[in-house]
Amino acid sequence: MERVTPIYLLSGFLGSGKTTLLQRLLSHWKGQGLRPAVIMNEIGDVNLDGLLVSSEVPMAEILDGCICCTVRGDLGLQMSELITNERPDLVVIEATGAANPMEIFDAVTEVSLYLKLDIKPMITVVDSAYLSELYEAQKGKTYRLMLDQIRCGSVLILNKVDRISEEKREEVRALVRRLNPYAQIIDAVKCDVELEVLLNQERDQQYANVNPTTKEQDHDHGHDHDHCDGHCQHEDHTHGHDDHKHTHASHEHVTVYSHYFTGPVDSVEFERFISELPREVYRGKGVLSFSDTSSRFLFQYAYREADYLKINPQGDVPDVAVFIGEHFDKSLLSQQLKALEHSQSKS
Ligand SMILES: Nc1nc2c(ncn2[C@@H]2O[C@H](COP(=O)(O)OP(=O)(O)OP(=O)(O)O)[C@@H](O)[C@H]2O)c(=O)[nH]1
């Protein structure tokens, strides 16, 4: 009999902690003797998160677009290849933080028409510090996308609670509960949650009262996977089902800039550059060689906080930094980074 492959979907805004959760999940499954596989989707043209996943884990990368729209057609192909060639016990899909969650469900459901999949309830990681800040202003596409991601999660991990006061935590919890009365809400730091609880949502009775219209649609596909209450707000978009190309207003505000370095840069100057990034840049990541140390580093920048991790990447990984944000000036970043490279080549 053909195997049914469980599919776990991780959603959440850029930098909220999806890869952090993915790493925990992968070691949990491996500890149980299971063989997980990963599909990673990046809006930029390099997959730096992939460096954080052990090379033993079979992985497919879908780069340079979002699986919910521009590269949606690639999802079926990649899933099919991964499942046929690797025969994993389960597959986790980490979507880009800019993805519309309902569109991801849609895309995966399309694939389930020709591959036997058991699509699990969506896990949404929420950056509680960033949400708390956006809630003050209550506007902007980023805020609306975050709300959609919250509405469509069956489990909501309120991550990064170390970055907000107890009072703000209460406020964020209440907001999230209002937006999604059905989901389980779990506070976390670095996505350190009880994984058994997280993964066994389907057995939880509280999901029995999910909107009946959504249930009906699920039955059409033979899966009980979509626990979104059906009121996700979609940006205006047109669907061309013939070629799977979707034009998405919701992504038009997202700007990506990838900078490939020509050589090492000074670590102090680079840290200064990061600390002075414009507010419109809300996510950065990269692999760097610094002129003042022999190691290479994976750098992460999310919501004005930067992390540097020593790494020793396998294979041919270039020095690169990717920045994601809303309408920022790419040429300014390019000039500043070139100036860092230039000051090194002179010294
Ligand atoms: N302070 C704090 N930082 C965290 C927490 N969880 C994750 N981070 C940091 O936030 C940054 C982004 O985390 P990731 O797990 O890469 O986030 P992501 O959602 O996969 O990011 P994208 O793939 O770009 O969407 C990293 O530097 C993490 O170490 C947390 O609970 N508190």
pLDDT tens sequence across 134-181:
888 877 788 888 898 998 888 999 999 999 999 999 999 999 999 998
Ligand 1 neighbourhood includes 41 CB (under 6 angstroms) = no
The CATH 3.40.50.300 domain(s) of the chain lie at 5-250
Distance 85 CA to ligand 1 centre (A): 31
Residue 19: its H or E element: helix 18-31
> Six-digit token pair at 259?
């900078």
In CATH, the architecture of 254-346 is 2-Layer Sandwich (3.30)
Residue with more model confidence, 275 or 73: 275
Q: Is the CB of 5 under 6 A from ligand 1?
A: no
Q: Return the CA Rg of the chain.
A: 20
Cβ(309) to ligand 1 under 6 A?
no
> Does position 48 have pLDDT exceeding 80, yes or no?
no
Side-chain-side CA neighbours of residue 257 (13 Å) = 21
Tell me, using a 6 A CB cutoff, whether residue 344 lines ligand 1.
no
**What is the SS3 assignment for 222?**
coil
Q: Span 69-85, mean pLDDT? A: 83
- Bridge partners for 301 per DSSP: 284, 306
Q: What are phi and psi of 283, to 5 degrees?
A: -150, 140
ipTM above 0.95, yes or no: yes
Please name the residues in contact with 178: beta carbons below 8 A apart, sequence gap of 6 or more: none
Looking at domain 5-250, its CATH superfamily turns out to be P-loop containing nucleotide triphosphate hydrolases (3.40.50.300)
Cα 309 to averaged position of ligand 1 atoms, centre (Å):
13
pLDDT at 333: 95
| Collapsed DSSP state (helix, strand, coil) of residue 305 | strand
Q: What residue type is 222 in one-letter code?
A: G
Between the CA of 146 and the centroid of ligand 1 the distance, in Å, is: 15
Separation between Cα atoms, residue 118 and residue 125, nearest integer Å: 21
Q: Is 81 helix (H, G, I), strand (E, B) or coil?
A: helix
Q: Is the CB of 339 under 6 A from ligand 1?
A: no
Query: Does ligand 1 lie within 6 Å of residue 17's CB atom?
Result: yes
| Strands 155-159, 123-127: pairing kind | parallel
Mutate to test the pocket of ligand 1, among 10, 14, 19 (most ligand atoms within 8 A of CB): 19
Pocket of ligand 1 contains residue 49 by CB under 6 Å: yes
Of residues 1 and 110, which shows the higher confidence score? Answer: 110
What pTM value is reported for the model?
0.76
- For CATH 3.30.1220.10, the residue range(s) in the chain are 254-346
